[in-house]
Homo-oligomer: A and B are copies of this chain.
Amino acid sequence: MNITGQDLIRACSAIGAGLAVIAGIGPGIGQGIAAGYGASAVGRNPGAKGDIMSTMLLGQAVAETTGLYGLLVAMLLLFVKPLG
């Protein structure tokens, strides 16, 4: 087995990147629930569709952040660290 330390780091980074984006399970469930509540609210009060949708989208945008953190860390593990 002809493996250098740099190879080990990159192999572990590949596993770590896979783990990192699993964080997306959380926002995925949460934002889907938000979409369901939003659609349900529009069905009860179609006149407030604009207000409901902007509230839903704003709340979802905040929930998106932790998913983005996972993507960011995965990207850093794949592209930036092996150069470092």
Q: Give chain A interface residues in 1-44, CB to chain B under 8 Å.
A: 1-44
List chain B residues, Cβ under 8 A from A64. Answer: 62, 65-66
Complex: chain B residue closest to A2, CB-CB: B4
Subset of 21 A-B contacts with CB under 8 Å: A12-B12, A13-B14, A14-B16, A15-B16, A15-B18, A24-B67, A26-B32, A27-B66, A30-B30, A31-B63, A34-B35, A35-B55, A38-B40, A42-B48, A46-B51, A57-B58, A65-B67, A66-B70, A68-B69, A69-B71, A82-B84
- How many copies the complex holds: the figure is 14
| A21 smallest CB distance to B (angstroms) | 5
Chain B residue nearest to A3 (CB atoms) is B5
